[in-house]
Structure 1
Amino acid sequence: MLTRRRLLLASLAAPLVSPALAQTQGPVVARDLAGREVRLPRPARRIVLTQGRHLPVLSLLHPDPLSLVAGWASDLRQASAQEYAQLRALNPAVDQIPIIGRGPSDTVSFESIIALQPDLVLLSRYTTAAAGGLAARLDAAGIPSAVIDFFADPLVDSEPSIAILGALIGRTEQAAAFNAHYRGKLEAVAARMRGVAPKHSVLLHAHAGGTACCFSSGAGIFTGMIEAAGGRSIAAGVLPGPMGQLGLEFVLATDPHSYVATGGPFGGARGGITMGSGATMREARESLARVIQSQGLSGLTAVRQGRAHALWHGFNDTPAHYLAIEKLAQWLHPDRMQGIDPEASLAELNDRFLSIKMQGTYWVDLA
């Protein structure tokens, strides 16, 4: 009898879903975020990911998400080394998945996608904007594609994206269950933040230490999460786009109530904060302290008064961002967050939904 590892290797060589794993076997249909109707003769079994980081989203809905991946962009492999190392430990055959480009960018190769003969290509809002009409080219080639997104406006797009994905891979019940869970988590925080005053100011220091101070979130992404947690980003209304650079002088003059760095992609070895899969609390805290010192932020009131923290940067492109909202709300308004425990929420997410578990450090306090 084949071992589980050999079965996984075989599944990557010819990614097919066992009938027992698919909830639906007949035709499926969904309307994607771009308003396009996507019809498949059966649930997708050979999927190309134009963003490799969408694999964990598949993990929310499917017991063996790697078996669905016919090809992917290399962004997860290149920018999230710790998460990729976890995947390799689970299944070394992950290295055999064909690469279609760096993604999400115009380096995604249309010819490489065609050669893989997928039955579905997953796009994001960024991919469709950057890749020069990729959706239209795929349509002309007769290859179905669907736009989902968890980055540009995650609090708006996450639920419909999960529903779209669930429909197209034949996992509608799992998608509905996760969306109900997700909605309940956000509503619980919203109820506690209703009427909150003041809305504490926050410096969201993205990729802290890996770039010059201080890269931050303007519109959407982390800014929306901060607002949902009863705070306000000092970059909102200052940065014209979703991400951009704040000057150190501006940060020091504004002196925000709370400082929240993000870490992971530019971990400790590259000058940033070690967070995410496999990271320990000690590594995260020590690297956060180094970044604050090296970037001239020790004088912030938030640092001196114990309101300096860090989050895993990967929360910026996953529906698991509700965990970050819970933690932000706990940091900003601890008096209102009785009964909500982000650690327990993470354990519940792993137990109920994720087939590829989140195991590591995803938030940390300096003090």
Structure 2
Amino acid sequence: MLKRRALLLAPLATPVLAQAQGAVAVTDLMGRAVRLPRPARRIVLTQGRHLPVLALIHPDPLSLIVGWSSDLRQANAPEYAQLRAQTPSVDQIPVIGRGPVDTISFESILTLQPDLVLLSRFTAGGPDGGLARRLDAAGIPSAVIDFFADPLGESERSLTVLGALIGREAQASAFNAYYRRRMDDVATRMAGAEPKPPILVQAHAGGTACCFSAGTGIFNGMIIAAGGRNIATDILSAQMGQLSLEFVLSTDPYVYVATGGPFGGARGGVTLGTGATAQEARESLARVVQSQGLAGLSAVRAGRAHGLWHGFNDTPAHYLAIEALARWLHPDRMRGIAPDASLAELNDRFLSIKMQGTYWVDLR
């Protein structure tokens, strides 16, 4: 994960779209021209976690997938179980690797004869795009989209590219317009909010000693958008890194947030995500606070300690995390905004694979 976050980002490119007689032409995030004779119907995902992104704009995204990485199956068993319950044939989708670019089988991709391979900045093979170049040489179209490296800056463009590639431009445009309204609403509410309350977001809390945190990385952008000040940036110049317990206790952030996921409880962390109940999320958060030596924080004593699903770091649905963070940091400015209602609206209006579980929780 650290290696992934340390990858240098290629220069950003604005998607350029054109369609004629069913043909598709886009410019992906790495500035590569991608041309298809028609919208893609046989797709290989080099990141299985891009399936929920497809579910934002397609009514049956699994019908497009002819091969994928096993990262979704391995890292999120409850979500995969939900997929299997809805579509048992999901087990028959060929696996091309585990997700890191050095595990992906290029030969397996060739065998599947896809009309499109979806890459991320990570699986493209680093700044030089190694896997992307091999696919180009083999005559297999591929496109780089990304919701992890710079989610606030690249999610809308990535979804625009994806929508064009699968013939769902209108649906991508509709979601992007909705996303922009939600983001702009929070930005308007946060305008002029001073001071910026200090906050600690402890990543994968409880899995390691206190406190692994986001420095300049993904969650930092969400904190800024939510009107907060990330205490980790006082120490960390990298995207992620370790803070000492002494630093955290002496800084005493106004709000404490622990991120968690499907295996949180088993690994000593916070249980959140698909299938998680509010009770087990809250109980696991309480255990983390105690085991990490954080019970003395004023945020914990005053009821400003919370849990947040770590998976928000790689999905356009991260606006839900920003709403939750802003509500914890500035409850007076966020009156009328309820993340639970926002999630229900997302499920109702867009997602064909629903988000069903607990994605944030208050310690109290």
TM-score using structure 2 length: 0.92
Q: Within the alignment, does 1:125 sit opposite 2:121 as a pair?
A: yes
- What SS does structure 1 have at the residue aligned with 2:308? strand
Q: Within the alignment, does 1:173 sit opposite 2:191 as a pair?
A: no
Question: Quick one: structure 1 residues 104 and 302, their matched pair in 2 at CA, closer, same or farther if it must change by over 3 Å?
Answer: same
The answer for the alignment partner of 2:62 in structure 1 is 66
Given the alignment, which residue of 272, 277, 290 partners 2:269? 272
Contact in 2 for aligned 1:310/1:365 (Cα 8 Å): yes
Distance in 1 separating the partners of 2:266 and 2:88: 24
Given the alignment, which residue of 117, 137, 140 partners 2:137? 140
- What SS does structure 1 have at the residue aligned with 2:306? strand
Residue 73 of structure 1: how far off its partner (Å): 0.8
Residue 129 of structure 1: how far off its partner (Å): 4.0
Q: Percent identity?
A: 76
Distance in 1 separating the partners of 2:221 and 2:341: 23
Given the alignment, which residue of 90, 101, 104 partners 2:97? 101
Q: Within the alignment, does 1:191 sit opposite 2:156 as a pair?
A: no
1:291 maps to amino acid = V
- What SS does structure 1 have at the residue aligned with 2:307? strand
Given the alignment, which residue of 235, 240, 244 partners 2:237? 240
The answer for the alignment partner of 1:28 in structure 2 is 24
Given the alignment, which residue of 31, 45, 53 partners 1:49? 45
Distance in 1 separating the partners of 2:109 and 2:262: 26
The answer for the alignment partner of 2:109 in structure 1 is 113
Question: Quick one: structure 1 residues 49 and 247, their matched pair in 2 at CA, closer, same or farther if it must change by over 3 Å?
Answer: same
- What SS does structure 2 have at the residue aligned with 1:60? coil
Distance in 2 separating the partners of 1:320 and 1:109: 30
Distance in 1 separating the partners of 2:263 and 2:291: 15
Q: Within the alignment, does 1:303 sit opposite 2:304 as a pair?
A: no
Question: Quick one: structure 1 residues 145 and 357, their matched pair in 2 at CA, closer, same or farther if it must change by over 3 Å?
Answer: same
Contact in 2 for aligned 1:48/1:118 (Cα 8 Å): yes
Task: Using the TM superposition, name which of 93-102 and 328-337 deviates more.
Answer: 93-102
Residue 85 of structure 1: how far off its partner (Å): 1.2
Unaligned stretches of 5+ in structure 2? 1-18
- What SS does structure 2 have at the residue aligned with 1:235? helix
Residue 359 of structure 1: how far off its partner (Å): 0.7
1:269-325 alpha-carbon deviations (Å, 9 max, x no partner): 221111111110001000000011111111111111111001111101000000000
Given the alignment, which residue of 78, 83, 87 partners 2:79? 83
1:173 maps to amino acid = A
Matches within 5 A, 1:303-342: 303-342=300-339
Residue 238 of structure 1: how far off its partner (Å): 2.7
Q: Within the alignment, does 1:291 sit opposite 2:262 as a pair?
A: no
The answer for the alignment partner of 1:281 in structure 2 is 278
Question: Quick one: structure 1 residues 216 and 129, their matched pair in 2 at CA, closer, same or farther if it must change by over 3 Å?
Answer: farther
Contact in 2 for aligned 1:24/1:43 (Cα 8 Å): no
- What SS does structure 1 have at the residue aligned with 2:25? strand
1:71-97 alpha-carbon deviations (Å, 9 max, x no partner): 111111111111111111111111111
Contact in 2 for aligned 1:159/1:179 (Cα 8 Å): yes
Tell me the number of residue pairs that the alignment of Structure 1 and Structure 2 aligns: 345
Task: Using the TM superposition, name which of 162-171 and 290-299 deviates more.
Answer: 290-299
1:359 maps to amino acid = Q
- What SS does structure 1 have at the residue aligned with 2:147? coil
Residue 212 of structure 1: how far off its partner (Å): 2.4
Residue 233 of structure 1: how far off its partner (Å): 1.2
Contact in 2 for aligned 1:193/1:229 (Cα 8 Å): yes
1:178-225 alpha-carbon deviations (Å, 9 max, x no partner): 000000000000000001011111111111112222111122311100
Contact in 1 for aligned 2:97/2:104 (Cα 8 Å): yes
What root-mean-square deviation, in Å, do the aligned CA atoms of Structure 1 and Structure 2 show? Answer: 1.5
2:142 maps to amino acid = S
Distance in 1 separating the partners of 2:266 and 2:256: 22
The answer for the alignment partner of 1:158 in structure 2 is 155
1:94 maps to amino acid = V
Question: Quick one: structure 1 residues 132 and 41, their matched pair in 2 at CA, closer, same or farther if it must change by over 3 Å?
Answer: closer
The answer for the alignment partner of 1:257 in structure 2 is 254
- What SS does structure 1 have at the residue aligned with 2:253? coil
- What SS does structure 2 have at the residue aligned with 1:309? strand
Distance in 1 separating the partners of 2:337 and 2:78: 28
Contact in 2 for aligned 1:272/1:291 (Cα 8 Å): yes
Distance in 2 separating the partners of 1:359 and 1:192: 28
Distance in 1 separating the partners of 2:296 and 2:167: 53
Contact in 2 for aligned 1:218/1:243 (Cα 8 Å): yes
- What SS does structure 2 have at the residue aligned with 1:213? coil
Q: Within the alignment, does 1:226 sit opposite 2:227 as a pair?
A: no
Residue 339 of structure 1: how far off its partner (Å): 2.0
The answer for the alignment partner of 1:8 in structure 2 is none
Task: Using the TM superposition, name which of 238-247 and 54-63 deviates more.
Answer: 238-247
